[in-house]
Structure 1
Amino acid sequence: MMIHRDSVKVLDVQSASLQNYIHSSEKQKALYKRTLFVVSISQIFGGAGLAAGVTVGALLAQQMLGTDAYAGLPSALLTLGSAGAALFVGRLSQRYGRRAGLTAGFMTGGLGAIGVILAAIMNSVFLLFTSLLVYGAGSATNLQARYAGTDLANGKQRATAISMTMVFTTFGAVAGPNLVNVMGDFALSIGVPSLAGPFILGAASYILAGLVLFFMLRPDPLVIARTIESTNQERSDKGVLSTIEHTENKRGIIVGATIMVLTQIVMVAIMTMTPVHMMHHGHGLGAVGLVIGFHIGAMYLPSLVTGFLVDKLGRMAMSIASGTTLLLAGLFAAFAPGDSMVLMVIALSLLGLGWNFGLISGTALIVDSTETSTRAKTQGTVDVLIALSGAAGGALSGLIVAGSSYSTLSLVGGILSLLLIPVVKWSQGGKNNTL
């Protein structure tokens, strides 16, 4: 009987806490800012975990297998694991809130990294591949965390909220690869193979990201947003308007997902084969690293400006800007002389910038077009499509270059990005002003 009374008291306290946020716009604003801060901190750790492991995954597989033939498997396994985890994290977040979903995703990624370390110590290829699959949960969670900051944002803040978390991801993503040698030396000092060193950083980073969210993401922004929306719905009489809004929401989800999938395919396809193309034209690893560094910088660093533009100019305007920028990237990559570092830097920077425009505008559209009762589940499903489209882009890029050339790949990518324009035109057939 005492346990039952205690449970009732806890529920009453939680209900009172929710009511405080429902009826106070000031508390909602404060929680929105706090959520952005907490998610941004977790993204620094998450970015480090992602980049550190990805940097040496192929090298570790190559070393353990003694051949280059399967060196691409780590990337494929990470992508496959990411796709499955995106669905899992999305559904878990939908049922229990962002805190539960994101914490579980990062912790799972951390366990995967520990598995990779053990695989290197035991020289177990099976454990390595299994662990890399689990490790992919970290990258999926890192991507889905961008949604958490939008739960309490209004329509004019959502893209800015998305972009802020992406900027903080950059700090970790840049630090991770730069610590590869340091972590390799540390691994050797404790009797672990040097290539497993970055996964020590990956494990610590993912687990820390999960702990930050578990202890600091309180109250849960999605739970609060869902309660506010439910209260507002009870106060309004929807009738026929509900059917119209539901149709328009479905259109927005399709458009947002298409934008992100197309930009992901184009970006991954051209980026994947650029190092191979450069090496064939006499560039060294330093030059390749410089070009890819500019590319990654362009993917994330412009985010704050992009978020502002998406909120001010509109989702569709920036989606067209994404397609145009990706077309320019494809043209530069296709027609630039293979020995021109400057033009390759421009091409890959434009490629990253076009992806940035597409991801932020598409993500904002998904948030605009979903209700809190189904939002996290839908976002997880969309991120599965993004992960799989990236895998497809990477796989097809090699086939196109092998059958034709890098120039053909770049032109195909540029032309494919133009499909964003008819997608935008189709979206404008609806009457949803948020589009």
Structure 2
Amino acid sequence: MTAAPAVDVRAAQRRALTVLSAGQALGGLSNGVALGVGSLLVEQVTGDPALAGLAATMLTLGGALLAVPLARLADRRGRRVSLSTGALIALVGALTLVVGGTLGSPWIVLPGFAILGASTAINLQSRFAATDLSQPRHRGRDLSLVVWMTTIGVIIGPNLIPAGDTLGLALGLPHLVGAYLISAATLVLAAILLWAGLRPDPLLTARGLVEAHDRVIPRLRLIQHPRALAAVVTVACAQATMVGIMALTPVHLEHDGHGLTMIGLTMSAHTAGMYALSPVFGWLTDRIGGRSVAIGGAALLVGAVVTALLLGSAMAPVPLALLGLGWSAATVAGSTLVAGAVPADLRPALQGRSDLIMGLSGAAAGALAGPVLGLVGYAGLNLAMLPVIAALVIAAILATRTRDRSA
């Protein structure tokens, strides 16, 4: 692989952060639409509320399965090629959902969500791309800045669902399908932006700064990096908790008699919590350490469970906002620990592995959420997440047993 030519590292990092941030905003809008209406679309085409959680399951599963090949593509060709390719794959997924929803076929809709999962994969990879040229003391800040930019899209996205539905109906599409036209349009813009703007490539530039004799390119074995493994588990537990509760909230609200406006408001509150304060959590991670921030995130997740039990569905935005905040704190802290846990040449492999495990954890939680909701209700679904939150705390402690600058 040819190393990138010498460049002004600070200028290259500023440009990378700008392009990645704009790409995150567009990708977040696509994901906000997909998550906001996904469970309802699956229920519509299958006729079975117990299967509604498969939307989040397939979306996260697709993102997980695509995380490793996209990370390998980044390893070989750089972030620019990997991220723009992921956006085009996600575009195919959005168009597949339009076709499947129009035909009322779950056999097309469910794979469509899996393909659209590429948008999740590139959003996750972008947060690591933000650290390629970071100084270690600013790693949490830069990562969280790109995560924060997702706020713009994910807050706007769910609130565009009614307008997308109106557009789709005007075009002769079935109920809910029109929202995915908006998703497709934003993915086109994201692919163009990432391809044209991510120059110089941050990963290739970072590698060009390392002298050839200093490079270490062993095969990654997580068992040989226990702190990295624990950091990965921290992120995975946060993802499982968030997806497990979030995936069935729209169905819960619909069954309680709420319409798309209330569902959109609740999901906007949730996604705002996920991203709006991420720079604060990034700053705290750099200042007080990933362990403290991750444990604080766990406390917020417990708060989400408690308020969901105490408040009625009319107050659903409150526990869902806390759920998003807890996820944000734990994910920013855990991801920062992942980014600094291994040498630079191993980072793309570890990051891809982390996103794979994170996605599989979320997919499993989403798949189980439907049956759990059917058996024990929404309150029971929330309570079922408490052991996962406890595992998050244990993993965060293990990830930082040996203090270093990334801890």
> Please, what TM-score do these two structures have when normalized by structure 2?
0.87
The alpha carbon displacement at 1:347 in A equals: 3.1
Partner of 1:355: 327
The alpha carbon displacement at 1:90 in A equals: 1.1
Q: 1:192 to 1:338 in 2, by over 3 A?
A: closer
The total of aligned residue pairs comes to 405
Q: Secondary structure at the match of 2:209?
A: helix
Partner of 1:140: 121
- Which amino acid in the other structure matches residue 199 of structure 2? R
Partner of 2:87: 106
Partner of 1:422: 394
CA RMSD of aligned residues (A): 3.2
The alpha carbon displacement at 1:29 in A equals: 0.6
Distance in 2 (CA, whole Å) between partners of 1:79 and 1:45 is 18
Partner of 1:52: 33
Distance in 2 (CA, whole Å) between partners of 1:300 and 1:151 is 21
Partner of 1:328: 303
The alpha carbon displacement at 1:213 in A equals: 0.8
Are 2:6 and 1:20 equivalent residues in the alignment?
Answer: yes
Are 2:396 and 1:410 equivalent residues in the alignment?
Answer: no
Partner of 1:371: 343
Distance in 2 (CA, whole Å) between partners of 1:360 and 1:233 is 29
Q: Is the 8 A contact 1:86 1:140 kept in 2?
A: yes
Are 2:305 and 1:305 equivalent residues in the alignment?
Answer: no
Q: Is the 8 A contact 1:183 1:194 kept in 2?
A: no
Q: 1:126 to 1:87 in 2, by over 3 A?
A: same
Q: Is the 8 A contact 2:231 2:399 kept in 1?
A: no
Partner of 1:182: 163
Unpaired segments of 5 or more residues in structure 2?
none
The Cα offsets for residues 70-126 of structure 1, whole Å up to 9 and x where unpaired, read as: 444433322221121112211111111111111111111112222233344555554
1:30-429 aligned within 5 A: 30-65=11-46, 68=49, 70-121=51-102, 125-193=106-174, 195-231=176-212, 233=214, 250-274=225-249, 286-287=261-262, 289-334=264-309, 336-338=310-312, 341=315, 344-404=316-376, 406-429=378-401
Distance in 2 (CA, whole Å) between partners of 1:281 and 1:117 is 27
Distance in 1 (CA, whole Å) between partners of 2:364 and 2:179 is 27
Q: Secondary structure at the match of 1:166?
A: helix
Structure number with the bigger relative contact order (C-alpha 8 A, sep ≥ 6) is 2
Q: 1:36 to 1:277 in 2, by over 3 A?
A: same
Q: Is the 8 A contact 1:316 1:361 kept in 2?
A: yes
66-75 vs 135-144, which deviates more?
A: 66-75
Distance in 2 (CA, whole Å) between partners of 1:299 and 1:152 is 25
The alpha carbon displacement at 1:159 in A equals: 1.3
Q: Secondary structure at the match of 2:312?
A: coil
Distance in 2 (CA, whole Å) between partners of 1:393 and 1:294 is 21
Q: Is the 8 A contact 1:94 1:374 kept in 2?
A: no
Which has the greater radius of gyration? 1
Q: Secondary structure at the match of 2:345?
A: coil
Q: Secondary structure at the match of 2:6?
A: helix
The Cα offsets for residues 155-190 of structure 1, whole Å up to 9 and x where unpaired, read as: 121111121112211111222222233333434444
389-398 vs 209-218, which deviates more?
A: 389-398
Q: Is the 8 A contact 2:228 2:399 kept in 1?
A: no
The alpha carbon displacement at 1:333 in A equals: 2.9
Q: Is the 8 A contact 2:36 2:267 kept in 1?
A: no
Distance in 2 (CA, whole Å) between partners of 1:259 and 1:103 is 28
The Cα offsets for residues 310-332 of structure 1, whole Å up to 9 and x where unpaired, read as: 11111112122122222233333
Q: 1:313 to 1:248 in 2, by over 3 A?
A: farther
262-271 vs 211-220, which deviates more?
A: 262-271
Distance in 1 (CA, whole Å) between partners of 2:240 and 2:45 is 30
Distance in 2 (CA, whole Å) between partners of 1:78 and 1:339 is 25
Q: 1:269 to 1:187 in 2, by over 3 A?
A: closer
Q: 1:72 to 1:425 in 2, by over 3 A?
A: closer
Distance in 2 (CA, whole Å) between partners of 1:333 and 1:120 is 32
Distance in 2 (CA, whole Å) between partners of 1:281 and 1:132 is 26
Q: Secondary structure at the match of 1:199?
A: helix
- Which amino acid in the other structure matches residue 382 of structure 1? S
Distance in 2 (CA, whole Å) between partners of 1:91 and 1:328 is 38
Q: Is the 8 A contact 1:320 1:424 kept in 2?
A: yes
Distance in 1 (CA, whole Å) between partners of 2:165 and 2:331 is 34
The alpha carbon displacement at 1:199 in A equals: 1.7
Distance in 1 (CA, whole Å) between partners of 2:238 and 2:390 is 10
Q: 1:188 to 1:370 in 2, by over 3 A?
A: same
Q: 1:389 to 1:217 in 2, by over 3 A?
A: same
Distance in 2 (CA, whole Å) between partners of 1:128 and 1:247 is 35
Q: Is the 8 A contact 1:222 1:372 kept in 2?
A: no
Percent of aligned positions with the same letter in both sequences?
A: 32
Q: Secondary structure at the match of 1:152?
A: coil
